[in-house]
């Protein structure tokens, strides 16, 4: 595909890296020549220096014959105008834009072909908020992803010493929990992937990714690690868009406090939120954290836009007795560095957002893509179409499907029914198939599985 990415920031740069690896024709546009030179050297992609919304710049970038425009500059208005220009002058087929401001997102009918022609809206703040919310709802999880409208969840947990399944093979899981359908999709041991088989033994400190129906997630988690009680007391550092949205969602079911350094923002938050306690001060203030009894806090969420503040406030909160800390980190290089030590969960907003973008880039009927382990692997939800003659998956059992190496089918959703992906399950047209792809180089092969042959038409 010929794809133009507007914005060479963290999201734009990460996205370019993902897509360039998959042999797409990528052009990145930005006003910052130094960033573009760095990307060009690293990825060997085409770059254009200039204002992303200017018609002449979009023409230089090749908008006339581009398949897709992805506008992820730091300015909502530039992203929106660029999509308008691409539609009006160049008839670009697919236009994706990052829009952050709720003032735009809450207006119905604004983003339509007869108004501002954006095909797909991405709101990073909402994506990250949902990501954090799911982690709070599942104490002990490192990652929680939803498929098929929430019917199925993929959860990553770390296996602990003393867990019932540690030292047992995966075949034991089925015997031990006969009434719960689950499938271990992948295991990471010392940062290396292991394709799970029945005789694979779970070791302490393994990162285990498993799929199950939403109702069964808690039961499976309790087998892999100590059961943690529900989070009730939540402290949020940072009252920006993410902090406010998270508090708004949690305040009726949890005890929520927000620490915000801007007095003006504190006033606005206290007017908009109903039950949340809004505190004016610095999240890195030991005195403030002690005064607010941080030792009683179930989870401390550092969600400011400053990595250093997030990391230092998390370390301080943990040292002062917070039971769990969750930290938002923009610099991807820091994420692996800090997670798993004093900081329990580190979240990269770029990786959370990338999945939303990749969903619309994938070929075949792909409805959901989640980037895992900082982009090393992917979980994909695809819809099977056709019949046995026109499709490589329909009318075949999972065991008969020629899956690319390192790819596993975890579950199939048929209507409202969740079917765990055992070898004898037959795929039908219209099934939602959830796959785990360990080797990103195999993504194209996975896409081809779900592209229908000509006989279907």
- pLDDT tens-digit series, residues 400-416: 998 888 888 989 999 88
What does the pLDDT read at residue 389? 86
What does the pLDDT read at residue 295? 94
Output 274 or 366, whichever has higher pLDDT.
274
Residue 453 has pLDDT above 70, yes or no: no
Burial class (CB in 10 A: 0-12, 13-18, 19+), 41: exposed
> Of the ranges 27-31, 344-348, 370-374, 412-416, which is most confident?
27-31
Among 51-65, 75-89, 161-175, the range scoring the smallest mean pLDDT is 161-175
Secondary structure of the chain in the HEC alphabet?
CEEEEECCCHHHHHHHHHHHHCCCEEEEEECCHHHHHHHHHHHCCEEEECCCCCHHHHHHCCHHHCCEEEECCCCHHHHHHHHHHHHHHHCCCEEEEECCCHHHHCCCCCCCCCCCCCCEEECHHHHHHHHHHHHHHCCCEEEEEEEHHHCEEEEEEECCCCCCCCCCEHHHHHHHCCCCCEEEEEEEECCEEECCCCCCECCCCCEEEEEEEHHHHHHHHHHHCCCCCCCCEEEEECCCHHHHHHHHHHCCCCEEEEEECCHHHHHHHHHHCCCCEEEECCCCCHHHHHHCCHHHCCEEEECCCCHHHHHHHHHHHHHCCCCCEEEECCCHHHHHHHECCCECEEECHHHHHHHHHHCCCCCCCEEEEEEECCCCEEEEEEECCCCCCCCCCCCCEHHHCCCCCCEEEEEEEECCEEEECCCCCECCCCCEEEEEECCHHHHHHHHHHCCCCHHHC
Residue 454 has pLDDT above 80, yes or no: no
Contact residues for 353 (Cβ-Cβ < 8 A; gap 6+): 11, 98, 122, 124, 127, 128
Residue 223 has pLDDT above 80, yes or no: no
Residue 242 has pLDDT above 70, yes or no: yes
Global pTM reads 0.81
Local confidence band at 457 (pLDDT 50, 70, 90 cut-offs): very low
Query: Would you say 440 and 408 are in contact if contact means Cβ atoms under 8 Å apart?
Result: no
Local confidence band at 376 (pLDDT 50, 70, 90 cut-offs): low
What does the pLDDT read at residue 56? 96
Residue 283 has pLDDT above 80, yes or no: yes
What is the rounded average pLDDT of the residues 117-121?
Answer: 88
Local confidence band at 114 (pLDDT 50, 70, 90 cut-offs): confident
Local confidence band at 427 (pLDDT 50, 70, 90 cut-offs): very high
**Which among 390, 384, 393, 399 is positioned nearest to 431, based on CA atoms?**
384
What is the rounded average pLDDT of the residues 92-107?
Answer: 85
Residue 221 has pLDDT above 70, yes or no: yes
Local confidence band at 227 (pLDDT 50, 70, 90 cut-offs): low
What does the pLDDT read at residue 97? 92
Local confidence band at 261 (pLDDT 50, 70, 90 cut-offs): very high
What does the pLDDT read at residue 455? 41
Question: How remote is the C-alpha of 119 from its chain's centroid?
Answer: 20
What is the rounded average pLDDT of the residues 349-364?
Answer: 75
What is the rounded average pLDDT of the residues 120-127?
Answer: 86
Output 23 or 292, whichever has higher pLDDT.
292
What is the rounded average pLDDT of the residues 343-370?
Answer: 79
What does the block give as tokens for 250? 């949690």
Residue 335 has pLDDT above 50, yes or no: yes
Local confidence band at 434 (pLDDT 50, 70, 90 cut-offs): very high
Output 373 or 25, whichever has higher pLDDT.
25
What are the CB-based long-range contacts (under 8 Å, 24+) for 20-25?
20/44, 20/45, 21/440, 21/441, 22/440, 22/443, 22/444, 23/444, 24/361, 25/1
Among 68-77, 181-190, 283-292, the range scoring the smallest mean pLDDT is 181-190
Output 419 or 115, whichever has higher pLDDT.
419
Please say whether the dihedral angle defined by the alpha carbons of residues 98, 103, 104 and 107, taken in this order, is positive or negative: positive
Contact residues for 306 (Cβ-Cβ < 8 A; gap 6+): none
For the CA atoms of 162, 167, 171, 175, what is the dihedral angle to 10 degrees? -40
What does the pLDDT read at residue 121? 87
What does the pLDDT read at residue 20? 82
What is the rounded average pLDDT of the residues 13-36?
Answer: 88
Distances (CA, A) of 6 to 99, 124, 352, 393: 13, 16, 19, 36
Contact residues for 193 (Cβ-Cβ < 8 A; gap 6+): 186, 187, 376, 377, 406, 438
What is the rounded average pLDDT of the residues 116-126?
Answer: 87
Please say whether the dihedral angle defined by the alpha carbons of residues 220, 226, 231 and 236, taken in this order, is positive or negative: negative
Q: Which residue matches tokens 């969602």? A: 249
Average pLDDT, the chain: 87
Local confidence band at 368 (pLDDT 50, 70, 90 cut-offs): confident
Question: β-strands 366-372, 377-383: how paired?
Answer: antiparallel
What is the rounded average pLDDT of the residues 84-95?
Answer: 93
What does the pLDDT read at residue 339? 65
């Amino acid at each position: 595909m010929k794809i133009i990415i507007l914005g060479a920031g963290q999201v734009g740069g990460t996205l370019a890296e993902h897509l360039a690896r998959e042999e797409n024709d990528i052009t990145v546009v930005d006003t910052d020549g130094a960033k573009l030179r760095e990307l060009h050297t690293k990825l060997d992609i085409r770059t254009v220096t200039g204002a992303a919304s200017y018609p002449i710049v979009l023409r230089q970038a090749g908008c006339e014959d581009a398949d897709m425009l992805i506008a992820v500059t730091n300015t909502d208005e530039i992203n929106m105008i660029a999509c308008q220009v691409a539609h009006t002058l160049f008839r670009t087929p697919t236009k994706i834009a990052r829009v952050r401001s709720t003032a735009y997102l809450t207006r119905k009918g604004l983003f339509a072909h007869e108004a501002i022609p954006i095909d797909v809206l991405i709101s990073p703040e909402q994506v990250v908020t949902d990501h954090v919310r799911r982690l709070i709802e599942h104490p002990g999880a490192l990652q929680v992803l939803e498929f098929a409208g929430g019917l199925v969840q993929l959860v990553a947990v770390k296996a602990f010493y003393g867990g019932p399944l540690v030292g047992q093979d995966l075949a034991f899981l089925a015997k031990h929990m006969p009434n719960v359908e689950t499938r271990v999709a992948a295991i990471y041991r010392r940062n290396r992937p292991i394709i799970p088989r029945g005789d694979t033994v779970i070791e302490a400190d393994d990162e285990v990714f498993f799929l199950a129906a939403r109702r069964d997630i808690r039961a499976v988690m309790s087998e892999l690690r100590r059961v943690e009680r529900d989070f009730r007391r939540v402290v949020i550092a940072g009252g920006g868009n993410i902090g406010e949205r998270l508090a708004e969602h949690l305040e009726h079911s949890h005890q929520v406090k927000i620490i915000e350094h801007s007095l003006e923002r504190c006033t606005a938050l206290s007017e908009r939120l109903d039950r949340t306690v809004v505190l004016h001060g610095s999240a890195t203030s030991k005195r403030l954290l002690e005064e607010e009894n941080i030792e009683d806090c179930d989870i401390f969420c550092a969600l400011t836009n400053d990595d250093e503040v997030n990391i230092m406030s998390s370390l301080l909160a943990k040292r002062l007795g917070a039971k769990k800390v969750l930290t938002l980190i923009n610099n991807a290089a820091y994420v692996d560095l800090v997670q798993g030590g004093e900081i329990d969960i580190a979240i990269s907003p770029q990786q959370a957002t990338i999945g939303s973008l990749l969903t619309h880039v994938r070929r075949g009927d792909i409805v959901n893509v989640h980037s895992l382990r900082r982009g090393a692997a992917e979980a994909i939800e695809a819809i099977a179409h056709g019949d046995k003659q026109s499709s490589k998956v329909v009318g075949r059992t999972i065991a008969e499907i020629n899956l690319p190496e390192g790819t596993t089918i975890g579950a199939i959703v048929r209507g409202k029914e969740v079917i765990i992906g055992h070898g004898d399950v037959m795929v039908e047209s219209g099934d939602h198939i959830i796959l785990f792809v360990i080797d990103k180089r195999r993504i194209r092969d996975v896409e081809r599985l779900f592209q229908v042959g000509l006989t279907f038409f």
